[in-house]
Amino acid sequence: MTGRRVAVLMGGMAPERPVSLVSGAKCAEALRSKGYEVVEIDPGRDVYQKLVEADPDIVFNALHGEWGEDGKVQGVLEHFGRPYTHSGVLASALAMDKQKTKAVLRLAGLNCPEGVIADRFEAAREHLIKPPYVAKPNAQGSSIGVLIVPKGANRPPAELASDTWPYGDEVLIETYVPGRELTVAVMGDRALGVTEIVPKTAFYDYEAKYADGGSVHVLPADIPEAVAEEARRAAVLAHKELGCRGLTRSDFRWDADGDGRLWLLEINTQPGMTPTSLAPEQAAACGIGFSDLVQWIAEDSSCPR
C-alpha cells in the first residue's frame, strides 16, 4: 500500500468535459483500490492554486481537449514541479494540432491524409478540396465537430458558418479516407493490440464513441497479420516521434478495398480511461487489469516530462 497522495485532474473546461469526469472518477476509484490517497480536482484557470492546496505527490491528468491535452495544463504542471502523468508540453501541444502532427509523422514515413488549414467561414463558402472530404476543428479531440462532406456534394457544410459553432475559427479540410477504423494503444514503448471499431452511426463520431451501443469493438481486429503488425509499428513510431509519454492511442483507417494502405489519422495523448474504453480494453486483453494500468500510469509520472 503506497499511502502517497495523488491529485486526479478531471472535468475541466473543454467540450470533452463529460468524458473526462467519467475517466477521472474511474481512475480515482482504481487508485484508491491500490492504496493511494486521492484528491479529485475539477479545475478551471485556477488549476495551479488548487494543486497548491491539494499538495499531491503525483498529479494524474485525466483531462481531455483544450486545457487538458494541448500543452497548456502541462505547462502549469511543469511549473508546479511535481511528477505528472501522460505526455509533456511539446508532445501534447503537437499532437493536439492535427495538421502539424501529420507533417511530423510524414517525415517519419507514415501515411497521413492530405489536408489544408482554413478559416471556417472560407471553408463554408466553397469547397477547398474536391469532395469527399472531412471538415473538422484542427485542435479538438473526441471527434468533436467532425463533418463528412460526401462525393458529389454541391456545397460545403453550412454548420461551419453558424453563429453557434463553438470550436474556434481554424478548421482542417482533409481528404476523406474510406475503409475500416482501427486503433492501437501504446503503453510506454509497447503496442497493446489492434481493435477494429465498427460504428453504428454513419461514421465514428462523438456519439459512436461515447453513447451506449454506439459502436462495436472487435479485439483483436479480424484483419491480416501483416496489417496488424504495421498498425502496431506505426503507433509505436508515432508515439516516439512526437515525444509522447505514458499511454497513447493512435487511430487509423485501413483502405482494404482500395490501395490497401494503412492511414494514420491522429494520435491521442490522453485516451479515455474507463474499464470499457479502447486503451484499457487492449490492456485487459494483455492481462493488465484496469487498476494495474492506472497504477502503472501513476508510477510512470515524472517532472520534467
Would you tell me the crossing angle of helices 98-107 and 225-241 to the nearest 10 degrees? 110
CATH of domain 5-86+293-299: 3.40.50.20
Q: Largest Cα–Cα distance of the chain, in whole Å? A: 62
- The answer to whether 175 and 98 have CB atoms below 8 angstroms apart is no
Question: Which residues, in sequence order, are bridge partners of residue 252?
Answer: 182, 264
Mean pLDDT of the chain: 92
pLDDT of 43 higher than 80 = yes
pLDDT tens per residue across span 268-278? 999 999 888 99
The predicted pLDDT at position 205 comes to: 44
Predicted pLDDT at 208: 44
- pLDDT at residue number 259: 86
For residue 202, CA distances in Å to 85, 87, 147, 208, 272 come to 34, 32, 11, 9, 22
Give the model's pLDDT for residue 210.
46
Question: Residue 204: which pLDDT band, with cuts at 50, 70 and 90?
Answer: very low
**CA-based radius of gyration for the chain:** 19
Known catalytic residues? 16, 142, 210, 249, 251, 266, 268, 272
**CB burial class (10 A; 0-12, 13-18, 19+) of residue 301?**
buried
pLDDT of 116 above 50: yes
Q: How far apart are CA 29 and CA 7, in angstroms?
A: 12
Confidence band (pLDDT; 50, 70, 90) for 206?
very low
Helix (H) or strand (E) holding 148: strand 147-149
In one-letter notation, the amino acid at residue 136 is K
What's residue 292's pLDDT?
98
Where exactly does CATH 3.30.470.20 map onto the chain? 94-111+177-287
Which amino acid makes up residue 152? G
Query: Above 70 in pLDDT, residue 202?
Result: no
pLDDT at 256: 86
**Three cell numbers at 160?**
461551419
Q: Residues 15-23: what's their mean pLDDT?
A: 91
C-alpha cell at 42: 475539477
Q: What gap in Å lies between CA 112 and CA 266, rounded to an integer?
A: 9
State the pLDDT at residue 168.
86
Give the H or E element holding residue 284: helix 278-285
Q: What is the dihedral of CA 67, 69, 72, 73, to 10 degrees?
A: 80
Domain 115-175 has CATH 3.30.420: no
How confident is the model over 232-255, as pLDDT tens digits? 999 999 999 999 999 999 999 999
CATH 3.40.50.20 domain extents, the chain: 5-86+293-299
Percent of the chain at pLDDT above 70?
94
DSSP 193: -
Asked whether residue 23 carries a pLDDT value surpassing 60, the answer given is: yes
pLDDT at 104 over 70: yes
**Confidence (pLDDT) at 213:** 58
Q: At what angle do helices 17-33 and 290-299 cross, to 10 degrees?
A: 90
Side-chain half-sphere exposure of 157, counting CA atoms within 13 A: 20
CATH class of the domain whose range is 94-111+177-287: alpha beta
Helix (H, G, I), strand (E, B) or coil at 293: helix
* Segments of the chain assigned to CATH 3.30.1490: 115-175
Whole-number Å distance between alpha carbons of 233 and 182:
13
